[in-house]
A and B are shown apart, each in its own frame.
Chain A
Amino acid sequence: MVNLVIKGGTVLDKSGSRKADVAIGDDGNISQISADIDGENIIDAAGCIVSSGLVDLNSHFCQPGNEEVETIESGTRSAVLGGYTAVMLMPHTSPVIDSAAAVKEMQSLRSEALCHIELSGSLTLDGSGKALSPIGEMAELGVRFFTHSNLSSLDLSLLRRAMEYSSRFNVTIGVTPFVAGNGHMNEGDVSSDLGIRGVAIEEEEILIYQFVKMAKLTGARVHLQQITSPKAIEIISAAKADGVSITCEVSPHHFALTDEEVRSYRSVYKVAPPLRSNREVKAIKKQITSGQVDAIATCHAPNPQHEVDLPFEEAPYGAIGLETAFAVSITELNLPLHKILSAMSWVPAEIAGIEATHGGVLSEGRPGNLIVVEEGAKWSPSIHQMASRSANSPFDGHLLQGKIKHTFVNGEAVVLDGETQR
């Protein structure tokens, strides 16, 4: 039985683009893709692009532990409004996701989510960098991605052991090349003018070089998160050419904003790694265009208003991004839409290991994880209207292009005309 028909749009997927309607059956799977499908429940997609839903590789929701700031419910509400049908949650909650029990608790929270949540585990117990978590036990429960957040507490020999050990379980190791506490912003003209302690971009390059070498040494599959350095991306590209199993992501705020923003002293511009200089931002945009960057990931990291109000040096790192990432990417990157979809849906689905249900090619029998996009629509996000419980959007008030009209998760219309349906 046909449940609904997405009518009048252009289907754009990994195999190309074609004018077609998409029917979704009662089981939530795509039942038909062809011209002129009729049905009772017609959803208008005239003039729009119909594609697979976006997949985020780097989301921080604060449940369990800090539900005032973000929950599975509010975070996934943000996600579906931004066109995501799957988000991978980072494990740095309270408690940290570092045990089979914690994974099971997270799995039980899936019923509160408006889209698929893919779980990741902490590489080390309590995220403290002292001892390995039970990676195998968590992998048996379906966790395919393990990461560590605070490099200042992780010695590289333990990271090497984690890579060696995990290769047996067919999982991916995520690392962010940033040592918290070394500085609050990019080191350069702006930090010198303002007297704020900076982090040199060279520090990121040195870390990336170490990670790449270690991935080669151990044979682990490594995903490098939140890259901001064009030279680091060159190192990564060279390693890929050398056969190292490595992928990388950049975040929209890192290619849309520069360290000049810090002259406003507003903590929404404090992210880890920091916003870089105009020169580096320009270079990294070119690298995205030339295909050297595998994925665009948000690093959606909520902070409450009272922490956003803190002075720059005292505020926590982090910015939210799920509701704006797609539009920021369309606005900032001069790229055809299929390349943006590749970096935000098709490739991240593969990196997350969920390509059977998300991303890729739309075909009959696959789950109805879809978005309908108004590519040319202009809009301006307002922090007061976002579904996220948090206040730290660096794109509040920006003029953006590209809007999510509808989002379908497992065939359910969770967003229609920009409004969540539950």
Chain B
Amino acid sequence: MTSTNHIRGVDDLGKDGILEILELSNHFLEVSNRRIPKVPALRGKTVASLFFEDSTRTRLSFEKAAKRLSADVMNFSVSSSSVKKGESLRDTIETISSMGAEAIVVRHKSVGVPWIITEWTDASIVNAGDGAHEHPTQSLADCYTITRQLGSVEGKRIVIVGDIKHSRVARSNVKAFSALGAKVALVAPPTLLPSSIDNWPVDVIEDFDVAIKEADVLYLLRMQLERQEESLVPSLREYTNFYGLTLDRSQKLQKSSVIMHPGPMNRGVEITGDVPDLPNALITNQVGNGVIVRMAILYHLLGSGVALSGLHSEGEEDG
């Protein structure tokens, strides 16, 4: 069970909470496969999405999930809002809250925003990414993708490759994967590893070509192109040489292993050529599962009192 009615970080759920969301996701997978993939579970509820940082896929994924649950969606995008006129975060949250929103999905460039805003609203907070800190719903989608493909996360060797230091996906995934019993390994140039990860439940493997052989899941992170301008790596070409998944390198993967990436991909940098189109690349599965898992998340937070078994799609008969 969740300790709070928020999903700000993976720790708001813990192992049991994650498993509960994955279990719920199976129900919504079934809903999504219906002819009319829409149920009235959150009818009358409002989900506000506040993206202070540009995002397309996460915002659309939440929007689609909320609409499939028949929730009303309030979209607040910074580029066309009063934030541009200097409105403070607190005023924005209190305004949205006054209009009435049961859940606020928030993305912000600064660490901790999903936590500090709980002081200013009674809504359930869902973190859609805070700075380099956490992106828990991506992790839940990834856990679900791995579970569907490989049966479970437990016991799997998951190798995360790339810019760990600046990655909220990596931080949430390390927590979520290891909570579920995976053996997580990190591969990154030293300048893109956090300074102090002795307490993290991970192995650090220097050589990608060594790590790739043991991977059940090879999880590539997006290489942010500005990192090269900061000289955190000498060049993108060198990065690809040492840390990119080329077609050649992908031959070293075990047959049963899978390739994942949270998107958006830099083709030609962390992943090259036709690798994303290999049959064991789950990148599009991750996107599809993202909607299903976010349905489960919103239902988990807002659906109390609505029985799953009673969720029939509009216009469909019982049974």
Contact = CB atoms under 8 A, between A and B. Distances in A.
Contacts of B198: 189
A195 B133 CA distance: 5
B78 to A, nearest CB: 14
Given A194-B111, A265-B111, A265-B112, A309 B131 contact: no
Contact of B132 (A195, A266, A309): A195
Interface of B: 88-90, 108-113, 115-116, 131-134, 165-168, 171, 194-200
Interface string A196-229: 1010100000000000000000000000000000
A278 to B, nearest CB: 13
Contacts of A198: 195
B32 to A, nearest CB: 32
Interface of A: 187-189, 191-196, 198, 200, 264-266, 306, 309-314
A311 B168 contact: no
Main secondary structure on chain B at its contact with chain A? loop
Contacts of A265: 111-113, 115-116
B135 to A, nearest CB: 10
Contacts of B116: 265-266, 309, 311
Given A195-B131, A266-B116, A311-B89, A187 B195 contact: yes
Given A306-B88, A309-B89, A194 B199 contact: no
A191 B193 CA distance: 12
A264 B132 CA distance: 16
Given A311-B108, A312-B110, A195 B196 contact: no
A189 B196 contact: yes
A266 B110 CA distance: 12
22 contacts: A188-B196, A189-B196, A189-B198, A189-B199, A191-B196, A192-B194, A192-B196, A193-B194, A193-B199, A194-B133, A195-B133, A195-B194, A198-B195, A265-B116, A306-B90, A309-B89, A309-B90, A309-B116, A310-B88, A311-B110, A313-B111, A314-B110
A311 B195 contact: no
A311 B199 contact: no
Contacts of B165: 195
A312 B110 CA distance: 7
Nearest to A197: B132
A280 to B, nearest CB: 13
Nearest to B90: A309
Nearest to A200: B195
B125 to A, nearest CB: 13
B229 to A, nearest CB: 16
A193 B200 CA distance: 8
A313 B132 CA distance: 11
A392 to B, nearest CB: 14
B110 A313 contact: yes
Given A195-B168, A196-B131, A312 B196 contact: no
A313 B109 CA distance: 9
A189 B111 CA distance: 15
Given A265-B116, A313-B110, A192 B197 contact: yes
Given A195-B133, A195-B171, A196-B131, A312 B195 contact: no
B112 A309 contact: no
B168 A192 contact: no
A264 B116 CA distance: 8
A191 B131 CA distance: 12
A309 B109 CA distance: 15
B150 to A, nearest CB: 28
Contacts of A313: 109-111, 131
Contacts of B166: 195
Nearest to A185: B111
A122 to B, nearest CB: 30
A28 to B, nearest CB: 46
A269 to B, nearest CB: 11
Nearest to A195: B132
A181 to B, nearest CB: 14
A196 B196 contact: no
A310 B171 contact: no
Contacts of B134: 195
Given A194-B133, A306-B90, A311-B108, 5 more contacts: A192-B200, A194-B111, A194-B112, A311-B89, A311-B110
